[in-house]
Structure 1
Amino acid sequence: MNRYLPVARQHFLAALASTSVVVKSICAAVILLYLLSFAVDTVYGLGVTPGYLFPPNFWIWTLVTHSLAEKHVWDVAVSLATVVVAGRLLEPLWGALELLIFFVVVNVSVGLLGAFAYFLTYVASFHLSYLFDVRIHGMLGFLGGVLVALKQTMGDSTVLKVPQVRMKVVPMLLLLLLAVLRLTTLIESNVLASYGFGVLSSWVYLRFYQRHSRGRGDMSDHFAFATFFPEILQPVVGLVANLVHSILVKVKVCRKTVKRYDVGAPSSITISLPGTDPQDAERRRQLALKALNERLKRVEDQSAWPSMEDEEEDAAKAESPLLPNTSAAGKGNSQESSLITFEDAPSQL
């Protein structure tokens, strides 16, 4: 173990050096608060406690600071790795400002949704421990958001080869693993709640609200809510998700989105269609180009080496100049026939 730690630290520092000031600042805050936790209880003062977030206390600042507070060194390692991965893979696509907005939106949503869920649990059970003993803290909610964003941007990439695991199934696989660990009481309920609400809030933001050059949100088929579940459950989940979305549109919580399809290529025509998206069109275009290139390569490989019969025929023509040039004659006959056809055309009309 001691042999791999220097290598891991070297790779981490190299990755951190290539990120923006936003990523460096978040990592520095996590490390600083962890060191401060040896002197004071930072999780109590900076983590979300449901009973203190709501009236009459209003500890509103904990919605922003709870993700930076950690109690264990392995939690710090997970938090730093999550932020660095987001800086390396998402920041070049979005920019530092959008990454910061995503960080704030996901963590504030995790704090609010988690506190509200524990409040409902208290209403159902009347146990005050759900209000004052629970501490929502750490970067697991943002980890869920980063995995959802990676599913959106690189969902078809392979994470593990044996067994084969693609990026698009990783968010739900980790959620299932955390649920199993929670049933075995190896982790606390706030860990599962943070990650689950991080997945949900990040999907809602990326699906409907994130601003980019193509407009707002991502309505492509590969990023639908049903795609987070196994294929056997996708029809049922898709039906329920569409029903919920229709209700939210009717009550003016969400607005009805119109997908746009860019016909592209020779013209600049843009058509609004109900079931297409520029990202899906670009993905299909790339697959078509790849298939075309492979087919052209096979054709070139087959025509690169002429057959022996063609070489012998060309040599015989070169040695026998008295042989008629059938190709030229044929060409002349074809030209003559075409002229005759062209001249006879008016009489036929």
Structure 2
Amino acid sequence: MNRYLPVARQHFLSALSSMSVVVKFICATVLLLYLLSWAVDTSYALGVTPGYLFPPNFWVWTLVTHALVEEHVWGVVVSVGTVMAAGRLLEPLWGAMELLIFFAVVNVSAGLLTGLSYLFTYAATFNLDYLFAVRVYGAPGFLGGVLVALKQTSGDTTVLRVPQVRLKAAPALALLFMAVLWLAGLPEIAAPMAACFYGVLAGWVYLRFYQRHSRGRGDMSDHFAFASFFPEVLQPAVGLAAGLIHAALVKMKLCRKMVKRYDVGAPSSITISLPGTDPQDAERRRQLALKALNERLRRVEDQSAWPSMEDEEDDDDEVRTDAPLLPTQEVEALAAGTSASQNPTGQESSIISFEDASSHS
């Protein structure tokens, strides 16, 4: 085991060196706060406590800092590994700034929704432990958001071969695993499970409706619908319920109605881009269509090209010079025949005969 540690450390450092400044900053902050937790209760000062998040305390900064706090080594491994996986798989597609926005949106939403859920639980049970004994911190919220993003970008990737598990099932499996741990008698897993669930929900809402990209905003493709997070048996019912809820939110103006957009590009070509389509595939098809159109126009231009006047004159000269010369008798006979055909009354023939007679006399 000890001989593999230097190799793992080398791979970790090489992977971290290739990351952006955003990923390095988040990982360094997590490590620094973990070391600080040995001397200070960082989960109390920087983690989300439902009783302190809402009035009259308003510890709103904890919505930003709770995702960077860890108190256990395994939590640091999960947090740093999640951030590095996002930097390796999502940052090349989105960019560093978009990854930072996604990190902030998911964590703030997960912390706020988790705190609200515990507040409602206290309102139903009047148990103060749900307000002041609960600490929400760590990477579960961002882990749920990253799993949703990986489902969107590379959902068909196979994670396990036996049994065959694809990446698109990872969010549901993560929540199921946490639920099993909670039912097995680990009550401290309840807060991470709630944060992971709300991270999945926040990540899906942001990627589905609000993320800006070159094709517009959001992703309305069928493979990223809310029903796709459930087994195929439940997808029709979940899809119907989700559609009704979305329509109600649109009527209440709490959600924006999504429409498919057709973007017309340059006048030389027409580009039709729909949300959810692969931009590289669309660009490849556009190039093929443009190439076929150019070849067709080239053939039409070759067929309708104007002939050269010099070539026609040269051809006429060749025809005149190459034509065979007729004998003199044939020429006279042709001339006489032409004159007779032009004077059907016979006047020309009488003149000729008169001249002949006068010459004989």
TM-score range, shorter chain: 0.7 to 0.9
State the match for 2:19 in structure 1: 19
- Offset of residue 161 of structure 1: 1.5
Distance 1:65 1:250 in 2: 35
- Offset of residue 263 of structure 1: 10
- Is residue 178–residue 189 contact of structure 2 (8 Å, CA) maintained in 1? no
State the match for 1:279 in structure 2: 276
SS at match of 1:160: strand
- Is residue 158–residue 166 contact of structure 1 (8 Å, CA) maintained in 2? yes
State the match for 1:86 in structure 2: 86
- Is residue 227–residue 236 contact of structure 2 (8 Å, CA) maintained in 1? yes
Distance 1:163 1:43 in 2: 38
- Offset of residue 159 of structure 1: 1.1
State the match for 1:259 in structure 2: 260
SS at match of 1:252: coil
- Offset of residue 213 of structure 1: 1.0
CA gap of 1:263–1:183, structure 2 versus 1, over 3 A, is farther
- Offset of residue 42 of structure 1: 0.4
- Is residue 219–residue 275 contact of structure 2 (8 Å, CA) maintained in 1? no
The one-letter code of the counterpart of 2:226 is: F
Distance 1:92 1:282 in 2: 15
- Is residue 47–residue 136 contact of structure 2 (8 Å, CA) maintained in 1? yes
Distance 2:117 2:248 in 1: 22
- Offset of residue 188 of structure 1: 2.3
CA gap of 1:281–1:5, structure 2 versus 1, over 3 A, is closer
Distance 2:276 2:250 in 1: 24
State the match for 1:204 in structure 2: 205
- Offset of residue 86 of structure 1: 0.5
State the match for 1:268 in structure 2: 270
Distance 2:161 2:112 in 1: 38
Distance 2:115 2:62 in 1: 11
- Is residue 221–residue 280 contact of structure 1 (8 Å, CA) maintained in 2? no
State the match for 2:176 in structure 1: 176
- Is residue 220–residue 275 contact of structure 2 (8 Å, CA) maintained in 1? no
The one-letter code of the counterpart of 1:237 is: V
CA gap of 1:59–1:235, structure 2 versus 1, over 3 A, is same
- Offset of residue 9 of structure 1: 1.9
Query: Does 2:143 correspond to 1:143?
Result: yes
Question: Which ranges of structure 1 fall in alignment gaps of 5 or more residues?
Answer: 272-276, 289-349
State the match for 2:56 in structure 1: 56
- Offset of residue 81 of structure 1: 0.3
State the match for 2:227 in structure 1: 226
Q: Deviations over 1:102-161 (max 9, x none)?
A: 000000001100000000000000000000000000011101101100000001111111
Q: Deviations over 1:215-256 (max 9, x none)?
A: 111111110000011100000110111111011100001111
The one-letter code of the counterpart of 1:216 is: R
Distance 2:132 2:219 in 1: 38
Which runs of structure 2 are paired with 1:1-349 in the superposition (5 Å)?
1-186=1-186, 187-260=188-261, 267-268=269-270, 270=272, 277-280=274-277
- Offset of residue 10 of structure 1: 1.7
TM-score normalised over the length of structure 1 = 0.77
SS at match of 1:260: coil
CA gap of 1:141–1:162, structure 2 versus 1, over 3 A, is same
Distance 2:29 2:147 in 1: 22
CA gap of 1:262–1:166, structure 2 versus 1, over 3 A, is farther
Deviates more, 1:214-223 or 1:187-196: 187-196
CA gap of 1:7–1:174, structure 2 versus 1, over 3 A, is same
The one-letter code of the counterpart of 2:21 is: V
RMSD (CA atoms): 2.1
Distance 1:3 1:231 in 2: 45
State the match for 2:345 in structure 1: none
- Offset of residue 84 of structure 1: 0.4
CA gap of 1:3–1:149, structure 2 versus 1, over 3 A, is same
Distance 1:215 1:192 in 2: 33
SS at match of 1:6: helix
- Is residue 261–residue 281 contact of structure 1 (8 Å, CA) maintained in 2? no
CA gap of 1:159–1:263, structure 2 versus 1, over 3 A, is farther
- Is residue 107–residue 198 contact of structure 1 (8 Å, CA) maintained in 2? yes
- Offset of residue 6 of structure 1: 2.4
- Offset of residue 20 of structure 1: 0.6
SS at match of 1:165: strand
- Offset of residue 71 of structure 1: 0.7
Distance 1:263 1:169 in 2: 36
Distance 1:281 1:13 in 2: 33
- Is residue 262–residue 281 contact of structure 1 (8 Å, CA) maintained in 2? no
The one-letter code of the counterpart of 1:179 is: A
State the match for 1:313 in structure 2: none
The one-letter code of the counterpart of 2:276 is: Q
- Offset of residue 282 of structure 1: 6.0
> Computing the radius of gyration over CA atoms, which structure comes out larger, 1 or 2?
2
Q: Deviations over 1:42-68 (max 9, x none)?
A: 001000000000011010100000001
- Is residue 42–residue 69 contact of structure 1 (8 Å, CA) maintained in 2? yes
- Offset of residue 185 of structure 1: 2.1
State the match for 2:335 in structure 1: none
Distance 2:74 2:225 in 1: 33
User: Number of residues paired by the alignment?
Assistant: 282
- Is residue 106–residue 142 contact of structure 1 (8 Å, CA) maintained in 2? yes
- Offset of residue 15 of structure 1: 1.1
